[in-house]
Amino acid sequence: MNGIDPISLEILWTRLVSLVDEAAATLVRTSFSTIVRESNDYAVVLLDRDCQLLAQSSLSIPSFICTLPETVRHFLKVFPREKLRPGDVMITNDPWLGTGHLPDINVAAPIFRGDELVGFSGTVAHAPDIGGRLRSPSTAELFEEGLRIPPAKLIDGGMAFDSQPKFSPDGKWIAFISDREGSENIWVMHPDGSGVKQVSKDPNNEFASPSWSRSRARFRRARPRTCAPMPRRG
């Protein structure tokens, strides 16, 4: 697109910005986070296939211009371009790979034209509660801030993973099992968030949904659950 005239450039640029602004409006209207709705602590971006920023939603925080492209590059270290396919969605809130603290959840998806990967869409949004201390100056370790999600697939080829993480019988791994019939993909991560890996499907379905004992000292085994539907807002 060398030598493009100024009028065409402005039309294409405005179109890209309007695309991410429309997506941002949907994000804000459907968000359960008051920080997203009232403080605009979010961003929606479009990236090219080399993770260079093309457009960002105009009402969001400008600092995410720098962080989201770098986060997608980290995703590609775990999920190389040649292994991505339409319908994949990746997620992380790792502060060293994302925006610096756990409440900001980063989500990205590849964009294909036919069979060719042409770019990425991405969002980051601030969750008001990630399970740890809320805005406490006494927090000394990362795990005190809440749940740490290493780079993982939230959706695999258009099929959602089980919304209830399943713990291995020995409690050493948390599994996110694809809901696709016959899928061999199970992504597991260490409970402390220190590692993530792909394993083959457990033929005996040994992963069970976690439930706390009354003393919270250990996990009880529970019946395996299927993918739960998304909650609907009234």
- Model pLDDT for residues 139-171, shown as the tens digit of each residue: 777 778 888 888 888 888 887 665 555 666 666
Which class in CATH covers the domain with range 1-146? alpha beta
| Distance separating alpha carbons of residues 55 and 119, to the nearest angstrom | 12
C-alpha to C-alpha distance for 169 and 207, rounded to whole angstroms? 7
Among residues 45, 91, 89, which one has the least CA distance to residue 69? 45
d(CA 234, CA 227): 21
Q: Residues 6 or more apart from 229 whose CB is under 8 A from it?
A: none
Phi and psi at residue 49, in whole multiples of 5°? -70, -15
DSSP 102: T
pLDDT digit string (tens) for 37-53? 888 899 999 999 999 99
Report how far residue 193's alpha carbon sits from residue 203's, in angstroms, rounded to the nearest whole number.
25
Domain-by-domain residue ranges, the chain?
1-146, 158-234
